[in-house]
Amino acid sequence: MTTISPTMVRDLREKSGAGMMDAKKALEENGGDLEKAMDWLRQKGMAKAAKKSGRAAAEGIVMALSSGDFGVIIEVNAETDFASRNEAFSGFVKKAAELALANRAGTVDAIGALPFGNGKTITEELTNLIATVGENMQLRRATSLAAPGGTVGAYVHMGGKIGVLTAASKPVGEVARHVAMHVAASNPAALNRTSIDQALLAREQAVYEAQAAESGKPAAVVEKIVQGRVSKFLEEVCLVEQPFVMDPDRKVAAVVSGAAAGAEITGFVRYGLGEGVEKAEDNFAEEVMKMASGQAS
């Protein structure tokens, strides 16, 4: 039986990124052959990746990039904030977004199929990263935004916790990015009054009607009160009507048209990291004990 030295284990760990016990077992299973052990670990890593796919991945990074009249935003998730701060993970997200922008790809499937540059696709590279880091990860969502003849601005806030794209109908330079910053801060519900979610509007109106009805005022007065409150609500939640965060005396629409005569914001996309993902409440002490006893998956 081949003796597995600490140096052999170290070399395999450095090459594979695997844990000490996994590296040692891989060498034992393959007679100390480093290359075969590496292949064995990759196979084992692939199995681990599949096993971990059921875990909630609510941490990670949102990345938004734009160039000229096109932009793309992606969200890549991991299970823990620790993993999402890993340089290999952040580097992967940045490169995936850059490739998506360069290829004008705006869906998860299209981005996942792009060549990563090392003989693998983006999806395959992510699978390898799962095996190395040991957590479930996924390219969860992606969207592109185009503004033919105009400008798409991009902004990322809090190191990837929020990402925004905004599209303007004419070239407006940095103003598109400034509006993206505004969207990150204000989180508008809609671009304008015509695009507001009608179910949301109906709920708000029902609340105002009930409140106004309790006043005991005539029906005509109640109707005017409700209309006024609905209008105020729309001003607060529609992007183009909101006071611009960098200049509250002007509304967003005025800021954009001021940058180029007749320019309008035609669309926006805002991602908040982990939106809609249900986080599992793990017992950290229990997980550490499992790792120490070799039970962690």
Look at residues 265, 73, 68 and name the one whose alpha carbon lies nearest to residue 162.
Answer: 73
CATH number (3.30.70.3040, 3.40.228.10, 1.10.8.10, 3.40.50.720) of 6-52 reads 1.10.8.10
Q: What phi, psi does 169 have (nearest 5°)? A: -70, -20
Kindly report the average pLDDT of the chain as a whole number. Answer: 87
Is the pLDDT at 210 greater than 70? The verdict is yes
For 263-291, write each residue's pLDDT tens digit: 999 999 999 998 877 554 444 455 444 54
Percent of the chain with pLDDT over 70: 86
pLDDT at 96 over 50: yes
Quickly count: other Cβ atoms within 10 Å of residue 103's Cβ.
Answer: 14
Q: Is the model's pLDDT at 226 over the cut of 80?
A: yes
Tell me which of 21-25, 87-91, 204-208, 221-225 is least confident.
21-25
Residue 291 confidence (pLDDT) = 45
Q: Which residues pair with 155 in a beta bridge?
A: 164
Q: What is the DSSP string of 164-195?
A: EEEEESS--TTHHHHHHHHHHHH--SBSSGGG
For the chain, the C-alpha Rg in angstroms (whole number) is: 25
* Contact (Cβ atoms closer than 8 angstroms) between residue 96 and residue 105: no
| CATH top class, domain 59-184+265-272 | alpha beta
Backbone torsion region of residue 17, taken as left when φ is above 0, otherwise alpha when ψ lies between -120 and 50, otherwise beta: left
Residue 117 confidence (pLDDT) above 50? yes
CA distance 240 to 179: 10
d(CA 112, CA 138): 10
Query: Which sequence spans correspond to the domains of the chain?
Result: 6-52, 59-184+265-272, 193-259
Q: Is 0.85 surpassed by the pTM of this model?
A: no
According to the model, what pLDDT value does residue 67 have?
98
Q: Given a cut of 80, is residue 54 above it in pLDDT?
A: no
In this predicted structure, the answer to whether residue 296 has a pLDDT above a threshold of 60 is no
Choice between 84 and 150, residue whose per-residue pLDDT is larger: 150
> Is the predicted pLDDT of residue 95 greater than 90, yes or no?
yes
- Confidence (pLDDT) at 284: 43
What would the pLDDT profile of 241-270 be if each residue is shown by its tens digit? 999 999 999 999 999 999 999 999 999 999
Token pair of 74, please? 């992606």
Task: Tell me the pLDDT band of 24, cut-offs 50, 70 and 90.
Answer: confident
Q: What is the DSSP letter of 147?
A: -
* Average pLDDT of span 73-88: 91
Q: Which three-class secondary structure state does DSSP give residue 151? A: strand
> What are the tens digits of pLDDT across the range 154-186?
999 999 999 999 999 999 999 999 999 999 999
In which order are the strands placed within the sheet that holds 59-67?
59-67, 70-78, 137-146
pLDDT classification of 56: cutoffs 50, 70, 90: low
Pull the structure tokens for residue 120: 């693998």
